[in-house]
Structure 1
């Protein structure tokens, strides 16, 4: 039967996925139309920092012409705005990294694919990933799927993830809860941290 529960472990890490200006800047092609998930992610980040939980930020950036983005770069036209270190690739001030917090630059949906994330979390003896960021149907889902495949219990914070459309957002939260991790409400995550 689908939907058994995974335990929230003893050594969590917070993964903040792609909370970049591209998703929150009105008029940008990737604009999501809401800042609610960003505000929630900032509250979860504050709780994680207060609890001494490791924090990892991700952002997307591509080399010249998207040379390192492969077919994904060709498929998703708005990614062209993330070539180099332009303003749309900046992490939002509400969740800006502090000294000592890792920022992983990625080119694909999963925070694990082609990055050092798995080895970093393993070295820290992390057992649980608290996941916030965008988009629910893309990078959040891909990271949750890869997280469980790497042996980490993914806990997606319902209010701290977002998408451009409510239908794929809700469908992917349903699917993550059924097969790949847990979907918790923000107050419960904060209390657990």
Structure 2
């Protein structure tokens, strides 16, 4: 259900997940409507900088020699995606880190995978984590779930996330929303208000798994978040 929220800026942080050039230039990994995802991430980043929120940028970069078992590789032995020698692993310049903002290099889905981010956020007094990025059902999903495990409340910014298709993205958001206990789903405009310490409208789950969607109504239910 939708409700009004207010979050103290001193208790919040922003996490941008894998907003890298390969998602708009590598035909294998193009994100649907990526330009809109980037544009909304820019707004979140501007709001976070204005409010002096701790901001973390993730980049998925794979060293095949240290990759997990069964990691997909090309015939020439490179990572099938996000290879460390590929210049397209660079974070998009519109949302590149600045100043003291932290860049997290990861070789797995979750931004929390190496066990560093969770304790750092808790040590800084962060209670709420705004999350945006790609891909919704993969690295965003894993990061959100691990943030919850770390005891953080998550605001999933739905229109600042994306995936390979609109359907993949919407279903990814709906799956997360169903179990986003203690957190919320918001659009960019309301997330920016929350980042700035103002009241904003967000969707919060009224109970366990309330969204019983189908292929026929998934878009309608996503729009209702």
Establish whether TM, by shorter chain, passes 0.5: yes
TM-score bin, normalised by smaller chain: 0.7 to 0.9
Of Structure 1 and Structure 2, the greater helix share is in 1
| Consecutive unaligned residues in structure 2, runs of 5 or more | 196-225
**Distance change >3 Å, CA 49–CA 148, structure 1 → 2:** same
Distance 1:153 1:76 in 2: 39
Distance 2:2 2:115 in 1: 29
**Distance change >3 Å, CA 170–CA 81, structure 1 → 2:** closer
Comparing 70-79 with 83-92, greater Cα deviation is found at 70-79
**Distance change >3 Å, CA 75–CA 12, structure 1 → 2:** farther
Preserved CA contact (<8 Å) 2:17 2:111: yes
User: Rg larger in 1 or in 2?
Assistant: 2
- 1:132-176, Cα deviation, whole Å (9 max, x unpaired): 110111111111111111100111111100011122211121121
Distance 2:16 2:74 in 1: 21
Comparing 102-111 with 76-85, greater Cα deviation is found at 76-85
Alignment RMSD, CA only? 2.4
Distance 1:88 1:105 in 2: 14
Q: CA deviation at 1:51?
A: 0.5
Aligned counterpart, 2:16: 16
Distance 1:32 1:167 in 2: 12
Structure 2 residue 73 is the aligned partner of structure 1 residue 71:
no
The number of residues matched between the two structures is 187
Preserved CA contact (<8 Å) 2:54 2:101: yes
**Distance change >3 Å, CA 15–CA 72, structure 1 → 2:** farther
Distance 2:131 2:6 in 1: 12
Comparing 51-60 with 30-39, greater Cα deviation is found at 30-39
**Distance change >3 Å, CA 79–CA 17, structure 1 → 2:** farther
Distance 1:32 1:76 in 2: 21
Q: TM-score, normalised by structure 1?
A: 0.88
Aligned counterpart, 1:183: 185
**Distance change >3 Å, CA 167–CA 72, structure 1 → 2:** farther
Preserved CA contact (<8 Å) 2:32 2:166: no
Distance 1:79 1:138 in 2: 17
Structure 2 residue 11 is the aligned partner of structure 1 residue 31:
no
Distance 1:32 1:70 in 2: 24
Aligned counterpart, 2:146: 146
Q: TM-score, normalised by structure 2?
A: 0.76
Preserved CA contact (<8 Å) 2:73 2:80: no
